[in-house]
Amino acid sequence: MSDDFTREFSAGLRAAGVVGAGGAGFPACVKAAARAEFVIANAAECEPLLKKDRTLLELHPEKVLDGLELMMRSTGASKGFVGIKKKHSALSASLGEAARSRRNISVAPLGDYYPAGDEQCLVYDITGRVTPMGGIPLAAGCVVANVETLFNAASAAGGPGTEKYITVAGAVRKPATLKVPVGISWAEAVELSGGFGVPDPAGIDGGPMMGKVITDFSLPVTKCSGGLIVLPKNHRLIVKKSAGRPAFSRVGRSACDQCSYCTELCPRYLLGHSVQPHRAMRSLMFSGGPLIHSEYALLCCECSLCSLYSCPEGLSPSEICAAAKADLRGMKKNFGDSELNSGRPVSAHPVREERKVPVSRLVRRLGLADYAADAPYLEHEYKPARVRILMRQHAGAPCSPVVEAGRKVRKGEVVGDLPADKLGCPVHASIAGTVSKANGEFVEITAE
Ligand code: SF4
Ligand code: SF4
C-alpha cells in the first residue's frame, strides 16, 4: 500500500463514477481511501429471484478478483474474502480455484438465509466481528463492496462503466439476466425479457424485500439497479409494499399485540444492537401526535424482514421504523445522542444461528414460489434509441447537468458533475448521441 496509489486509485474511481452497484450507490472512492484490515466482496445476493452478481462472477471472475486486489492494496488490507452462499457450490469451487493464484484472497461460504448480504451480517459471518452500534463495517476493520462494484473498480482505468448487469424476473415471459446501457427504461428491459406475462403489471425496482414498487416502467435503469421483479398489480407483495404511512400506522396501532416476533427475528437485534421494532410499534399506541419518537428504530437497516416475514399479523414494523427514523432526523436526534448508545461492546445473540430465515421459506411467505424460475444470462448487445441518465444515482449530493440540449456527446463523456468537496461521483453518457433534454433530474441522450 502506498499513499500515492491510494490517492490515484481513489481519484480514478471517482472520475469513472464507480458507486455501490448492489443498490446503496455509495461512492467507491471513499471506501478506497479508507484504511482497513479486510476487504469483503459481497456476493451473497440474498434478495430472492435476483442473480446478476452470480452471473457476473461466472462471466468475469478474474476481473472481480482484480478489483478486490486493488481495493485491498488501496486500503492496506491484509486479507480479502469473497462472501458467497455455499449452495452455489460449482461457482464457489471455481472462484476458489481462481483465488488460489492470488495472495491472501479466499472464498468465504455463507448460509442460504436472508439477509446474508446485509453488510453487518456479512462482516460477522466472515470475521466473527460485530460492527459497533451506530457504526459502519470500517469500525470493525472491514470494507465491504458488491462484486459488480469491484468489477467496475478493476475496469475504471479504461474509462467509466456505462453498462449495468440486471435481472428481470417474476411475471415476464422469459426471466433473464442482462447487461444493458445505463439509462434504458425498465419497459425496454422487460421487452428484452420477452415482455410482460400479466395484463396489469407492477414492478419492484430492486429485490422483493428492499426494492421499491414502480408502476411507471419508463423510469430508467441506474448504476445501482439490481433488477426488476414484475408481478400482477394485485399481488399481495405489491399491495403490502404500496401501503402509505397513514394506512400502516392506523392498522399497526390497532392490531399489534406486542408479541415481539419482529424483534426476536430482527437480524440487527440478533447482532446485539439496540433495535427493537416491537417497541417502535408500541410507541404508535402511546404517541400523542403524528410523530414517532422511538429511538429503538434508529439502528434499523430497513431489510423488511419484520414486515414481510416475521409479523404474524402482517403489520409493517419496518415501515414504522423507517418513519420513526425520518421523524427523529427531523427532530435532529441521532443514535450518537441517544441513551441507547451505551458505548459498550456488543455481542451477537446466542441463538442467532437458529433464528436465521432460510430464503426458500421466505420465497413461499412472499408468494413468489410460482415466479422462482431461473433467469439465465442473455447475451445481447442492446442499442437503445435514447437513454435517460439520472443526476442522482449515488449516495450524497446529486449531480448537475454539464451539457445542454443540442450538444453531441460521446459514450463515456461526463454529462453531470458535482463539486469535488461533495460526496458523490460524476455521471456519464452511456451511448453516443445528441442531448435532447437536460435538467436537474436527468440528461436525455438520443442515439446518433
Ligand atoms: S410481530 Fe407484529 S404483532 Fe408482533 S410485536 Fe411485531 S408488529 Fe406487533
Ligand atoms: S426492517 Fe425490521 S427486521 Fe430489518 S433491521 Fe429493521 S427492524 Fe430489524
Helix (H/G/I), strand (E/B), else coil: 382 = coil
User: Residue 230 and residue 189: Cα distance in Å, rounded?
Assistant: 11
Ligand 2 neighbourhood includes 263 CB (under 6 angstroms): no
Which atom of ligand 2 is least distant from the CA of 305? 3
Q: Which of 265, 270, 298, 304 to mutate to test the pocket of ligand 2 (most atoms within 8 A of CB)?
A: 304
Q: What's the 275 CA to ligand 2 centre distance in angstroms?
A: 8
Handedness of CA 228, 229, 231, 236 (dihedral sign): negative
| 8 A C-beta contact, residue 414 and residue 427 | yes
List CB contacts of 433: < 8 A, sequence separation 6 or more: 386, 408, 409, 445, 446, 447, 448
Q: Minimum-distance ligand to the CA of 300? A: 2
Handedness of CA 170, 176, 182, 185 (dihedral sign): negative
Protein residue closest via CA to atom 4 of ligand 1: 259
Distance CA 115, CA 112 (A): 9
- pLDDT tens digits along 313-354: 999 999 999 999 999 999 999 888 888 888 888 999 999 999
**In this structure, are residues 30 and 173 in contact, taking their beta carbons and an 8 Å threshold?**
no
Contact 435, 406 (CB under 8 A): yes
CA distance 21 to 342: 34
How far CA 186 is from CA of 166, 181, 223, in Å, comes to 10, 11, 13
**Cell numbers describing residue 240:** 403490502
Report whether residue 305 contacts ligand 2, using a CB cutoff of 6 Å: yes
Q: Which residue puts its alpha carbon closest to atom 3 of ligand 2?
A: 266
What DSSP assignment string belongs to 200-265? SEEEEES-TTT-EEE--TTSBP-TT--EEEEEETTSHHHHHHH--HHHHHHHHHHH-----HHHHT
Find the 431 Cα to ligand 2 centroid distance in Å. Answer: 39
* Shortest-distance atom of ligand 1 to CA 311: 1
306 Cα to the center of ligand 1, angstroms = 8
- Cα dist. 184→190, 191, 270, 298 in Å? 11, 11, 40, 36
Mutate to test the pocket of ligand 2, among 321, 349, 357 (most ligand atoms within 8 A of CB): 321
The response to whether residue 300 sits with its C-beta less than 6 Å from ligand 2 reads: yes
Query: Hey, which residues does 38 pair with through a beta bridge?
Result: 79, 142
In a structure prediction context, what are the per-residue pLDDT tens digits for the chain, which is 448 residues long? Answer: 469 999 999 999 999 999 999 888 999 999 999 999 999 999 999 999 999 999 999 999 999 999 999 999 999 999 999 999 999 999 999 999 999 999 899 999 999 999 999 999 999 999 999 999 999 999 999 999 999 999 999 999 999 989 999 999 999 999 999 999 999 999 999 999 999 999 999 999 999 999 999 999 999 999 999 999 999 999 999 999 999 999 999 999 899 999 999 999 999 999 999 999 999 999 988 876 778 888 999 999 999 999 999 999 999 999 999 999 999 999 999 888 888 888 888 999 999 999 999 999 999 999 999 999 999 999 989 999 999 999 999 999 999 999 999 999 999 999 999 999 999 999 999 999 999 999 999 999 999 8
Please give the DSSP secondary-structure letter assigned to residue 93.
H
Ligand 2 atom having least distance to the Cα of 317: 2
HSE (side-chain half, CA atoms, 13 Å) at 281: 27
